[in-house]
Amino acid sequence: MSDILNLSRRGFLKGVVTTGALVLSVRVLPSGLLAEEVAYAGTHAEHAPLHPGVYVGIDTDGTVYIVAHRSEMGTGIRTSLPLVLADELDADWKRVKIEQAIGDARYGSQETDGSQSIREFFDAMREAGATARLMLTRAAAQQWNVPESQCRADLHTIVHASSGRKLGYGELTTAAGRLPVPDKKELQFKPPSAWRYVGKGMVSYDLSHLVTGKAVYGMDARMDNMVYASIEHPPVLGGKIKSYDDKAPLQVPGVRQTIPIDTFKPPHEYQALGGIAVIADNTWAAFQGRKKLNVAWENGAHAAFSSDEFKKEMQATARKPGKAVRNEGDVDAGFAKGGKVLEADYYVPLLAHASMEPPVAVADFRDGKLTAWAPTQDPQATQDAVSKALGIAKENVICHVTLLGGAFGRKSMPDYIVEASLLSKKVGRPVKVVWTREDDVKFDYYHAVAAMYMKAAVDDKGMPTAWLQRSVFTPIPSTFDASATYGGDDEMGMGFTDIPFDIPNLRVENGPAVAHVRIGWLRSVANVYHAFAVQSFLDELAHNAGRDPLEYLLALLGRPRVLDLKATKYPNYNADYQKFPIDTARLRKVVEVVAEKSGWGKRKLEKGRALGIAVHRSFVTYVASVVEVEVTPQGEVRVPRVDTALDAGLVVNPEITRAQFEGANVFGASLALMGEITAKNGAIEQSNFNDYPVARITEAPRENNIYIVESTAPPAGVGEPGVPPFAPALCNAIFAATGKRIRELPISKTNLKA
Amino acid sequence: MERRSRSAAGVCIGQVRRACLTLRDYSKVFVRRNRAARGTIGMVSLIEDNMIRLKVNGVERSFNGDSQMPLLWYLRDVLGLTGTKYGCGIALCGACTVHRDGKAIRSCVTRMGALAGSSITTIEHLSAAGLHAVQKAWMEHNVPQCGYCQSGQIMQAVALLNSTPRPTDQQIEEAMAGNICRCGTYNRIREAIKAAAGERA
Ligand code: FES
Ligand code: FES
């Protein structure tokens, strides 16, 4: 490290470090420091004397800087991954400072979705921690002139056991930093029995800032000289401006100008939607000005899209043969044999993410470079999208990641950052684009609308001998290829091609659907509708057979075995199937645990109440839920209790994991009870929480019990897998309570009045 | 509460308050200006003065911008108090909850014009020294996930406990039903409120 860098670095540190632990950078604080004074100079970690890799650095005062390269949207990942590193380093958590990475390929993937951060980076964090520990140990051994094997790490110090000598990490870091970085093969990992933090967990690193209003979200980012923008988007996807009149907006005090934004050229990907931006001195003025815009739109082909007709089309498609994606035995022969046949259609509407913080971004274009501060799940995708939009190199896009006020998949799509970038270039100063809640609800990358058809032939015990299931949904690939109508292998692999039942003749099919709105990932993605169809249908079969749903479910799971899916294209959430197979023993286990904990078949329930069960593996985690429902004579549905058992392999942070599953049950309640987005003439009909309601404290499960099944399997996902079982378990409970079968979500569409 | 602040009645109350306060301010400012100007000229100019004076977190502030501007944007964009959040803009989510004279209000629908003479408290100033009992309970119960809704949740919970120190479950639900948490932290919110109530009792 050169002296010059050192000096400028020190200047930088002065401004940043002293203000406290969470600080993302001075520039997002309302402290008025000029952008030029704090141009991004890399992480503290990389400027520390000991810096064996991109994730960690140790300063002479003993501060351990750990880089969080994944985005924090409430899952605790900004805490849990650094915790793994800190444990392996044997660092004192109190002396750890976490810094948020900008988008940079050197960190590996930063795409914070798919519930994969721990799964994909557990080993990398351990290696980084073990590497730094070994270098510190080596430095101490050299200093004491003793064999390395006689020295060991003990909470931020290296000790020489026999002599009792000790040196702190800060004292060793300079010497350690001069040593060559050891080879992976030399590393020794702690045995699980020595883990300080892993498996025990730690509260969010940001906790105190989250309860005091100090936490900095995208909504809170500001830059000097910044102006605010609110954008009137074309009401129909792909629509263009015919003409517009901005006289009235320009009269609004605080409004500076209006700027048209070109409509994207298909496929839309992460491009700006287009429309007219109103630029103003504050958010309110921008909103007000925008209300006064007068725009005539040219709507285009998607204006023919209306949800009612579209639903009929999809359901018709689901009744026609589709593309087979998994085949076992001979389904047609199975059905030809005769016997009782059951069939059912299920439907799940479009859904919006509605994270509490709507899309928002600050961007500053100057000297051919774009600096963004934004709540994004994927800063590298942001670099790509912005570089394309502005025609600058990816390296010239510096994307800082703020805290995310919820995301649920929405903020994997950085279109709103592209908007801010385009506008900053045009305005010549930093621009903050703020989406209203109405924008968020009307212009989302929606969760697909889906129609499923299920058909089974059953034997005299009611067990299926042939099983056909077909799924039709507006596919996510349509976001990247305008002509795509079939689902990707990953979407089909989310609870459909991977159904784990022991059925001799089975076929899984996918039918086409044209997307007329932007489609994207939403918490647990295709698992939402697939689990709803499969787990509801299973309950139908159980009742048909006159058998207890729990007993039937276990019978259908069959003998404990690892599913052989070699003949099927099954991405397994991009995880190695050897390491993360579908193991029906683990499915059985979570079912058994949740049955016992919920008092299935044993607990006395109040009148009007009943239990329903569902089990589902997603993001390589096994989850079973039992929902207790209360249906009032007026047909109101309440959820007094939910019990959820999960096997996510090794759980790094149990407390935060429990919170994720509690939240997933609430998220499940929202989509099951009340979530629905519809379109008429191509435009979305809902606008805010009045017509797109989400669960409030009064509607969320009253008791929310989470059980973590001890497991030695490698760590799996925890952010999403809690969601899929909730809706079917609730609907199965409603059937048990009322005899009414819900085949369409949300439940509010069905009249449950006695 | 949210309904009141949206209704005409809410505006009326504000205007009445403002009128009262204008009188009080008037006398104060009058004295000050009078020292310089002497006589009635100062008085005339004062009557036309549409400065809105209020207290925010204990600090006297005056505002002469658009009186229709909601308090939320004044706090966030003008004062830089970004702890108070935008979530819906129409009193449906509670993310923007602050206290006016100790009571919870939705700052997204409370116009600056209705606030003359009010004392506003935001999350940043909830407790001058250290953490408020509710914030402590929030930490002990690990309530926040993304945290975005939590300023509003906490301000709402504090207002509840100020008026109802030992709330029943039903009272908790009624008071908190206007505050959405999309991350789904409701069970912990309920427990934390109960713990804070116990602490204060
Ligand atoms: S932002 Fe004020 S209630 Fe939602
Ligand atoms: S903690 Fe995320 S919205 Fe409440």
Q: Looking at chain B from residue 73 to 132, which residues have their Cβ under 8 Å from any Cβ of chain A?
A: 73, 76-78, 80-90, 92-93, 95, 122-124, 126, 131
Are the Cβ atoms of B87 and A662 closer than 8 angstroms? no
In the reported structure, the alpha carbon of residue A645 is separated from the centroid of ligand 1 by a whole-number distance in angstroms of 35
Q: What per-residue confidence (pLDDT) applies to B127?
A: 85
How is residue A487 written in tokens? 């689902």
ipTM score: 0.95
Whether residue B58 is found in the same domain as residue B154? no
d(Cα A615, Cα A270) in Å, to the nearest integer? 34
Ligand minimally distant from the alpha carbon of residue A206? 2
Angle between helices A654-673 and A726-738 in degrees, nearest 10 = 50
> Same domain, yes or no, for B172 and B121?
no
Q: Tell which of A356, A665, A723 to mutate to test the B interface (max B CBs under 10 Å).
A: A356
A96-100 and A64-68: which strand pairing? parallel
Domain annotation covers residue B118: yes
Buried-state track B128-154, b at ≥16 Cβ within 10 A, e below 16: eeeebbbbbbbbebbbbbbbbbbbbbb
> Are B118 and B179 in the same domain?
no
In chain B, residues with a C-beta closer than 8 Å to the C-beta of A74 are: 144-147, 183
B112 shares a domain with B54:
yes
Atom of ligand 1 nearest to the CA of B108: 2
Select the residue from B108, B121, B127, B145 to test the A interface by mutation, using most A Cβ atoms within 10 A.
B145
More confident: B29 or A53 = A53
Q: Which one of A80, A210, A288 would you mutate to disrupt binding with B, by most B Cβ within 10 Å of its Cβ? A: A210
**Contact: A697, B65; criterion CB under 8 Å:** no
| B184 and B150 share one domain | yes
CB-CB neighbours of A366 under 10 Å: 14
Lowest mean pLDDT among A40-49, A225-234, A310-319, A580-589: A40-49
Other Cβ atoms closer than 10 A to A251: 10
Give the position of tokens 């519809």.
Answer: A678
| Number of alpha carbons in the 13 Å side-chain half-sphere of residue A670 | 27
Residue B39's pLDDT is 36
Beta strands A450-458 and A340-348, pairing class: antiparallel
Closest CA to A359 of A300, A412, A426: A412
Last residue of a domain, which of B70, B95, B125?
B125
Within 8 A of A285 by CB-CB distance, chain B residues are 66
**Rounded mean pLDDT, B147-151:** 98
At A549, which amino acid appears?
P
Partner-chain contact A665 B184, CB within 8 Å: yes
Looking at the domain that runs over A307-351+446-749, which CATH code has it been given? 3.30.365.10
Interface of A with B in 246-265 (CB under 8 A): 253-254
| Torsion of Cα atoms, A717 then A719 then A721 then A724, to 10° | -160
Contact residues, chain B, for A358 at CB < 8 Å: 86-87
Is the Cβ–Cβ distance between A107 and A692 less than 8 Å?
A: no
Fill in the amino acid letter for A457.
A
Whether domain A218-301+359-434 has CATH 3.30.365.10: the reply is yes
CB contact under 8 A, A283 and B86: yes
Per-residue pLDDT tens over the stretch A128-173: 999 999 999 999 999 999 999 999 999 999 999 999 999 999 999 9
Instruction: Give me the number of domains chain B comprises.
Output: 2
DSSP string of A566-617, one letter each residue: TTS---GGGS-TTTS--BHHHHHHHHHHHHHHHTTTTS---TTEEEEEEEEE
Q: Are B130 and B157 in contact (CB under 8 A)?
A: no
H/E run at residue A469: strand A464-473
Residues B101 and B9 in one domain: yes
Whether the per-residue pLDDT at A708 is higher than 80: the answer is yes
In the predicted structure, residue A33 carries a pLDDT above the cut 80:
no
Looking at the fold, whether B47 and B116 belong to one and the same domain comes out as yes
**What average pLDDT does the segment A593-614 reach?**
97
CA angle A398, A401, A406 (to 5 degrees): 150
Q: How far apart are CA A170 and CA A587, in angstroms?
A: 47
pLDDT value, residue A208: 95
Rounded to the nearest angstrom, the distance between the alpha carbon of A550 and the centre of ligand 2 is: 34
If asked whether residues B9 and B85 sit together in one domain, one would say: yes
DSSP code, position B124: G
* Chain B residues 3-32 with CB within 8 Å of chain A: none
Note the Cα A109 to chain centre separation in Å: 14
- Strands B119-121 and B52-56, how do they pair? parallel
Q: What is the mean pLDDT of residues A553-567?
A: 96
- Ligand 2 neighbour B178 (Cβ under 6 A): no
Distances (CA, A) of A431 to A275, A281, A428, A728: 16, 10, 9, 44
Given a cut of 50, is residue A537 above it in pLDDT? yes
Q: What is the pLDDT of residue B125?
A: 96
3-state secondary structure of A372: strand
Q: Please identify, among B125, B154, B176, the residue that sits at the C-terminal boundary of a domain.
A: B125
Pocket test for ligand 1, best of B96, B100, B110 (most atoms within 8 A of CB): B96
User: What DSSP letter does each residue of A43-110 carry, written as one string?
Assistant: -HHHHSSEEEETTEEE-TTS-EEEEE-S--SSS-HHHHHHHHHHHHHT--GGGEEEEEPPS-GGG---
pLDDT confidence of residue A450: 98
Which pLDDT belongs to residue B22? 30
CB contact under 8 A, A688 and B135: no
| A288 CA → ligand 1 middle, Å | 17
| pLDDT bucket at A39, cuts 50 / 70 / 90 | confident
Token output for A150: 């006689």
Ligand 2 in reach of B144 Cβ (< 6 A): yes
The atom of ligand 2 lying closest to the CA of B153 is 4
Whether B146 and A696 lie within 8 Å, measured CB to CB: no
Give ligand 1 pocket residues (Cβ under 6 A): B 86-89, 91-96, 106, 108
Residue among B83, B139, B176 whose CB faces A214 most closely: B83
Which residues in chain A touch residue B122, judged by CB atoms under 8 angstroms apart? 213
* Residue A155, both tokens: 């909470």
DSSP-assigned letter for residue A181: P
| Predicted pLDDT at A557 | 96
Which ligand 2 atom minimizes the distance to the CA of A406? 2
Tens-digit pLDDT profile for residues B134-147: 999 999 999 999 99
Q: Does B1 touch chain A (CB under 8 A)?
A: no
**With bands split at pLDDT 50, 70 and 90, how would you rate the model's confidence at B60?**
very high
A207–B139 C-beta distance less than 8 A: yes
User: Are residues B101 and B158 both part of a single domain?
Assistant: no
Q: Write phi, then psi, for A577 (nearest 5 degrees).
A: -70, -30
pLDDT at B130: 80
* Beta carbons within 10 angstroms of residue A235's beta carbon: 18
Residue B26 has pLDDT above 70, yes or no: no
Residue B47 has pLDDT above 70, yes or no: no
Q: What is the helix (H) or strand (E) element at residue B120, kind and residue range?
A: strand B119-121
Q: Are A677 and A441 in contact (CB under 8 A)?
A: yes
pLDDT at B62 (0 to 100): 96
A697–B89 C-beta distance less than 8 A: no
**Residues A167, A33: Cα–Cα separation, whole Å:** 38
What was the pLDDT predicted at B50? 80
Which residue in A605, A625, A604 sits closest to A669, CA to CA?
A625
What separation in angstroms does the CA of B177 have from each of A151, A441, A509, B125? Answer: 58, 21, 43, 24
Q: Which of residues 472-491 of A touch B (CB under 8 A)?
A: none
Domain membership flag for residue B190: yes
Phi, psi angles (nearest 5°) of residue B156: -65, -45
Question: Which secondary-structure segment (H or E) carries A171?
Answer: helix A169-178
Domain CATH for B169 = 1.10.150.120
Give the rounded distance of the alpha carbon of A123 from its chain centre.
Answer: 21
**B120, B136: one domain:** no
pLDDT at A690: 98
**CB-count burial class (<10 Å; 0-12, 13-18, 19+) for A449:** buried
Which residue intervals of chain A bear CATH 3.30.365.10? 45-209, 218-301+359-434, 307-351+446-749
Could you read off the pLDDT of A68-88 as tens digits, one per residue?
Answer: 999 999 999 999 999 999 999
pLDDT band at A6; cut points 50, 70, 90: very low
Which residues are CB-contacts of A660 (< 8 A; sequence separation ≥ 6)?
A75, A76, A718, A719, A722, B145
Ligand 2: atom nearest CA of B143 is 1
Residue where a domain terminates, one of B96, B125, B154: B125
Q: Shortest CB distance from A436 goes to which of B78, B81, B89?
A: B89
> Which residue range is the domain that position B55 belongs to?
2-125
pLDDT at A38: 54
**One-letter amino acid of A578:** Q
Q: How far is the CA of A265 from the centre of ligand 2 (A)?
A: 35
Instruction: Decide if B116 is inside a domain.
Output: yes
Three-state DSSP state, A221: coil
Q: Report whether pLDDT(A463) > 50.
A: yes
Counting from 1 in the atom list of ligand 1, the atom nearest the Cα of B89 is 1
- Both structure tokens of A25: 């950078």
Question: pTM, whole model, 2 decimals?
Answer: 0.92
Peptide bond into A581 cis (omega under 30): no
Shared-domain flag, residues B85 and B146:
no
Average pLDDT over residues B167-182: 98
B138 and B120 in one domain?
Answer: no
Q: B186 CB under 6 A from ligand 2?
A: no
Nearest-CA distance B25 → chain A (Å): 26
* A561-570 mean pLDDT: 96
SS (H, E, C) A376-412: CCCHHHHHHHHHHHHCCCHHHEEEEECECCCCCCHHH
Mean pLDDT of chain A, nearest integer: 94
- Per the CB < 8 A criterion, the answer to whether A195 and A84 are in contact is no
Cβ partners under 8 Å of residue A67, min gap 6: A43, A45, A54, A55, A56, A82, A98, A99, A100, A101, A107
User: Do the Cβ atoms of B117 and B62 come closer than 8 Å?
Assistant: no
**In chain B, whose CA is at the least distance from the CA of A282?**
B77
Q: Which CATH class is domain A45-209?
A: alpha beta
What's the pLDDT at B200? 67
Closest ligand 1 atom, CA of A689?
4
CB atoms under 10 Å from CB of A120, counted, come to 17
CATH number of domain containing B87 = 3.10.20.30
In a domain, B201, yes or no: no
Query: Which ligand has the shortest distance to the CA of A356?
Result: 2
Q: Please name the residue whose Cα sits nearest to atom 4 of ligand 2.
A: B181
* pLDDT 10s digits, B95-117: 999 999 999 999 999 999 999 99
